[in-house]
């Protein structure tokens, strides 16, 4: 055993330092799957003090640490490929405090998102940040990536619910930022630096998350839409008339994949685009307003067909048409992009991208879906069977380069909610200016002067 490993084993009980090849493989990768994992070891701390000891040890030994939550990321932010020690938060999964007056839950970083949502529900409250990987992702990772998901249009991003955060910086110092305060006008709000920091500034160990009232009788509709302009008109109308909690979209290709994987066809009509609208129905008048909105949309020709869930089971089936897309494509190992533009620019951006694919890559199957109500589109490109994987990856790199140009023209971003990690690192400078990237680098040096925290992610140090 190497000296480094031997000294690591002095820090934690042996069953909490993993070195079996299967463990290194499991903890060294995230949902991107394309980066070969090769960490030195996996550490499973159980307390803030143990995390602190691990950081101090890493500085002394000059070993890089990769903070690790549920590893559901899609940009390689939690991948360990170069002999790092993965610091998994999975044993730090206690709910520490609930405060009914503040309406906050304070939790350790390893609490699963769905567990936090459930804990809020048990208190008659609601934690609104929600997405498909809720059953595996952890709150520390949600903060580190500033997770978004399917309810952003109404509730915002993870940072909007972050009332306080405790982190261990790259020097082993423990910082407690904001301590659950609503108002705190005392200079820089360091808490927000950690939201979206992708593990490069500190290890998030605890967080205080704000809660809200549960949505009142959520109702779901799925509708078929003939074109993008109609979709935008329908969006403006539904937003004006209903208390929306989600406005999602997918194409006919996306629907076909979900249907081929057991999804239920919502209605017979076919269309190039579909939207899923979720809204609260606090009273009878709102239910009637929803029907009236649908009828108006149909009269205007914005909506071709639609279905309203008649039960919770049917609502879940309708949601599955959108949330099941990623899983239905998984076996094809798609090349993914996750982009955003201002909502008003979505039709023009999509038209440009569709023209680009038609011109340059007519053989590629391109599947579009996403959170169109907040301007976030997911693009999954499927490899043509006749094309070798290596050629496909090279071509997709070219696609992303061209995508960046189109995004620049439309003032958009190359990563909306999946982060930068390794996958989008080569494109960071198409969205952020050299001055911004240099300031980020300097900030990293302040929090992590020894460069041991998730090095090589986001940008090269």
Residues that bind ligand 2HG (CB under 6 A): 74, 131-132, 326, 336, 338, 378, 380
Give the residue among 178, 253, 255, 185 at the shortest CA–CA distance from 210. Answer: 178
Q: How far is the CB of 329 from ligand 2HG (least distance, A)?
A: 7
Q: How far is the CB of 34 from ligand 2HG (least distance, A)?
A: 14
Cβ distance to ligand 2HG smaller for residue 45 or 324? 324
Would you call 284 helix, strand, or coil by DSSP?
Answer: helix
Q: How far is the CB of 323 from ligand 2HG (least distance, A)?
A: 6
Cβ distance to ligand 2HG smaller for residue 235 or 319? 319
Measured distance CA(92)–CA(112) in Å, rounded? 10
Cβ distance to ligand 2HG smaller for residue 68 or 340? 340
Cβ distance to ligand 2HG smaller for residue 242 or 416? 416
Q: How far is the CB of 418 from ligand 2HG (least distance, A)?
A: 6
Give the residue among 416, 413, 402, 415 at the shortest CA–CA distance from 353. Answer: 402
Cβ distance to ligand 2HG smaller for residue 62 or 354? 354
Residue with tokens 């969006």: 235
Give the residue among 80, 397, 446, 85 at the shortest CA–CA distance from 461. Answer: 446
Q: How far is the CB of 322 from ligand 2HG (least distance, A)?
A: 7
Q: How far is the CB of 337 from ligand 2HG (least distance, A)?
A: 8
User: Which position's Cβ is nearest ligand 2HG?
Assistant: 326
Q: What tokens were used for 134?
A: 């809720």
Distance of CA 429 to the CA centre of its chain: 21
Cβ distance to ligand 2HG smaller for residue 230 or 380? 380
Query: Which residues does 445 contact at the CB level (< 8 Å), separation at least 6?
Result: 451, 461
DSSP secondary structure letters along 99-140: ETTTTEEEEETT-BHHHHHHHHHHTT-B-----GGGGT-BHH
Helix ranges (H only) for 174-250 are 191-194, 228-241
Q: How far is the CB of 320 from ligand 2HG (least distance, A)?
A: 12
Measured distance CA(37)–CA(33) in Å, rounded? 9
Q: How far is the CB of 336 from ligand 2HG (least distance, A)?
A: 4
Cβ distance to ligand 2HG smaller for residue 131 or 319? 131
Give the residue among 344, 343, 265 at the shortest CA–CA distance from 305. Answer: 265
Cβ distance to ligand 2HG smaller for residue 74 or 309? 74
Residue with tokens 């549960």: 214
Determine whether 133 is exposed, middle or buried from the number of CB atoms within 10 Å of its CB (0-12, 13-18, 19+). buried
């Amino acid at each position: 055993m190497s000296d480094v490993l031997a000294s690591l084993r002095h820090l934690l009980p042996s069953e909490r330092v993993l070195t079996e090849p299967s463990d290194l493989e499991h903890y060294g990768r995230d949902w991107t799957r394309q980066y070969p994992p090769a960490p030195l070891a996996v550490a499973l701390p159980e307390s803030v003090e143990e995390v602190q000891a691990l950081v101090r040890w890493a500085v002394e030994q000059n070993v890089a640490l990769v903070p690790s939550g549920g590893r559901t990321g899609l940009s390689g932010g939690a991948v360990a490929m170069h002999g790092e020690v993965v610091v998994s938060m999975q044993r730090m999964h206690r709910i520490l405090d609930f405060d009914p007056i503040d309406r906050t839950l304070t939790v350790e970083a390893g609490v699963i998102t769905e567990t936090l949502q459930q804990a809020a529900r048990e208190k008659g409250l609601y934690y609104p940040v929600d997405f498909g990987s809720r059953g595996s992702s952890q709150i520390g990772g949600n903060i580190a990536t500033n997770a978004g998901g399917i309810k952003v249009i109404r509730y915002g991003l993870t940072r909007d619910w972050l009332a306080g955060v405790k982190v261990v910086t790259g020097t082993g110092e423990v910082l407690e930022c904001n301590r659950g305060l609503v108002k705190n006008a005392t200079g820089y709000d360091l808490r927000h630096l950690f939201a979206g920091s992708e593990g490069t500034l500190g290890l998030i160990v605890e967080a205080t998350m704000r809660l809200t009232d549960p949505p009142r009788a959520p109702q779901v509709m799925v509708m078929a839409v003939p074109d993008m302009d109609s979709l935008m008109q329908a969006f403006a109308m539904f937003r004006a008339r209903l208390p929306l909690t989600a406005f999602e979209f997918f194409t006919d290709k996306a629907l076909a994949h979900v249907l081929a994987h057991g999804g239920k066809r919502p209605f017979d009509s076919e269309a190039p685009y579909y939207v899923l609208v979720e809204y609260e129905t606090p009273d009878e008048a709102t239910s009637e307003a929803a029907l009236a909105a649908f009828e108006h949309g149909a009269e205007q020709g914005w909506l071709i067909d639609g279905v309203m869930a008649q039960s919770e089971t049917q609502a879940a089936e309708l949601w599955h048409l959108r949330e099941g897309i990623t899983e239905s494509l998984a076996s094809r190992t798609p090349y993914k992009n996750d982009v955003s533009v201002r909502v008003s620019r979505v039709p023009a951006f999509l038209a440009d991208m569709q023209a680009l694919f038609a011109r340059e890559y007519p053989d590629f199957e391109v599947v579009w879906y996403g959170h169109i109500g907040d301007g976030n589109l997911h693009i999954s490109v499927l490899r043509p069977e006749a094309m070798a994987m290596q050629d496909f990856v090279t071509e997709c790199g070219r696609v992303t380069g061209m995508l960046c140009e189109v995004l620049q023209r439309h003032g958009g971003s190359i990563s909306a909610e999946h982060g930068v990690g390794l996958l989008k690192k080569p494109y960071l400078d198409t969205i952020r200016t050299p001055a911004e990237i240099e300031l980020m680098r300097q900030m990293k040096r302040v929090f992590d002067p020894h460069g041991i925290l998730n090095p090589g992610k986001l940008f090269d140090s």
